[in-house]
Amino acid sequence: MPPRIPFQVELPLPEVGDSGESESRNPPQPPFDKEGNRSGEISASATEEDPQNPSEQPSKTPQKKRSDKPLTVSQLTRQIRMALEGEFRSVWVAGELSNVSRAASGHIYFTLRDEESQVSGVMFRRAVAGLPFQPVDGLEVVVRGHLSVYAPRGVYQVNASAMEPKGVGALQLAFEQLRDKLAKEGLFDKSRKRPLPFLPRHIGIVTSPTGAVIHDMLTVLRRRFPGIPVTLFPAVVQGNQAVPALVEGVRVLNTISRTPPLDVIIVGRGGGSMEDLWAFNDERLARVLADSRIPVISAVGHETDFTIADFVADLRAPTPSAAMELAIPERLELEASVQEWGMRLQRGMQQQLRSCRDHLIQAKRQLSSPETGIRQFQQRVDDLDLRLRERLRARLDRTRFALEESATRLRLLQPSRQFPELRNRVMALQQQLPKLVKQRLQAQQAQIEQHTGRLDSLSPLRTLGRGYGMATTTEGKVIKSHTQVQPGDELALRLADGTLHTTVQRVEPRP
């Protein structure tokens, strides 16, 4: 493997074979071999986490010994474990996952069930690391493993060494799970997509240094816009080392210093199966692409191939060659556009010059005969003078008419004209005043006498004058009933011409 160090690419590159030849020299192994073991990994039954290896146990069930001595619980559990683990060394079990939980150690515990029964299961950390998807509740799966007995609780369980989704491929399920997860985090939102530069000064590429992909991209660059520098980070694009290499490539191109600086990064490879392209569906690569400070173009496989990197990148290209076409404009088209704009600018300048020349000629004509302009101004001044005189004359006429009308009104309102009339009116009022006053006094006197008569008729003194008296206590309270006094009380008896002070001798109620 060549060292993963970014280097400047010199154009042109030598011709190579078909696209993707070097990228498919080491195709990945299928997820399970004929025996159900994951390629390149040790079965969970032979790991340190599973010390009870069924292959090390005797293959035959031990003979039962007739004895009157009872078995201990540990002995019974041990015999059951030997029987189960010896008989069910390798089983395939299909069912629905439930109660899935991941321990801090990395092991996964679950329950596998169908409509009638259920069985507990465990998958140890090393086997879990080989799963391309996340086991979740409700998922229909097929589990390969062996039966084991957990002695502390006396229960049997399936020790899973492999697990596949039922009805859908493991890689497809892993793709959908990661796609949904990153979409919820907003990594696919259009708002975070950055526009590509119109004409990049420097292009970075992360792909295999051999094969047709890099050759095709550089051929497109040489055809469309030769001279733009390219920095290639050689990366493995397939296999176990592909993800670390791709992640490192994007990070390095974001940090290296180049002149001119990088404006866009293309990450891609040629076509292949889903397994071949799986490195571009890794979460680590997706997050590095999302964190890139330089706009990224994803160019993976063919037009029908979609990866997680395509959704995260700022732009998705159907092929690596198309990515280079999207990254740089056509030089000939730019030159044609520049020529067209140059011609438009020239025509505009010529039109502007003609317009300025016409204005200059007109101004020159006016300057060459200033008498014409002076005469026009004199005529305008005369016209304005005439209009001013007419307006002043009309204003004076309106003012004179208003003054005459006001003088007429003043003459009609002079005091000398009103004095005789006012004097006669005052004399008539003086003659009528004594008579009116006398009549008013007589009316008032008659009214007073009438009121006096009414008051006199209602006065209590008038009643006392007829021989009546009014008894009061020493405090002046009027006695209205014999119940208000007792024998011995002192009373005042008011008459018309005086007051008598008496003492009550006895009280006699009216019969």
CA atoms within 13 A of residue 348's CA, in its CB half-sphere: 6
- Cβ atoms 142, 92 nearer than 8 A: yes
Task: Say which DSSP state 492 is in.
Answer: E
Q: Taking the complete model, does pTM exceed 0.75, yes or no? A: no
Sign of CA dihedral 156, 162, 163, 168: negative
Distance CA 205, CA 11 (A): 14
- Sorted by sequence, the CB contacts under 8 Å of residue 190 that are 6+ apart come out as none
Q: Tell me which residue of 246, 278, 383, 336 sits closest to 28, measured CA to CA.
A: 278
Sign of CA dihedral 290, 293, 295, 298: negative
Computed over its alpha carbons, how large is the radius of gyration of the chain?
Answer: 61
Task: Please report the pLDDT score of residue 286 as a whole number.
Answer: 93
Question: What is the phi/psi pair of residue 145, to 5°?
Answer: 180, -155
The secondary structure element, H or E, covering residue 429 is: helix 415-458
Task: Please report the pLDDT score of residue 469 as a whole number.
Answer: 82
Buried b or exposed e, range 462-491, using 16+ CB within 10 angstroms:
eeeeeeeeebeeeeeeebeeeeeeeeeeeb
Q: What is the mean pLDDT of each run of 10 residues along the chain (511 residues)?
A: 60 44 38 38 37 44 60 81 76 87 90 88 89 82 86 85 74 81 90 90 92 90 90 91 93 89 92 84 92 93 85 92 90 77 85 87 69 77 89 90 85 71 84 88 89 78 76 86 86 84 87 75
Distance CA 220, CA 325 (A): 7
Task: Please report the pLDDT score of residue 290 as a whole number.
Answer: 93
- Cβ atoms 249, 4 nearer than 8 A: yes
Task: Please report the pLDDT score of residue 8 as a whole number.
Answer: 66
The DSSP code sequence of 132-154 is: SS---TT-EEEEEEEEEEETTTT
Task: Please report the pLDDT score of residue 5 as a whole number.
Answer: 64
List, in sequence order, the alpha helices (H) in 122-241: 125-129, 170-185, 212-224
Burial, 254: exposed, middle or buried (Cβ in 10 Å; 0-12, 13-18, 19+)?
Answer: middle
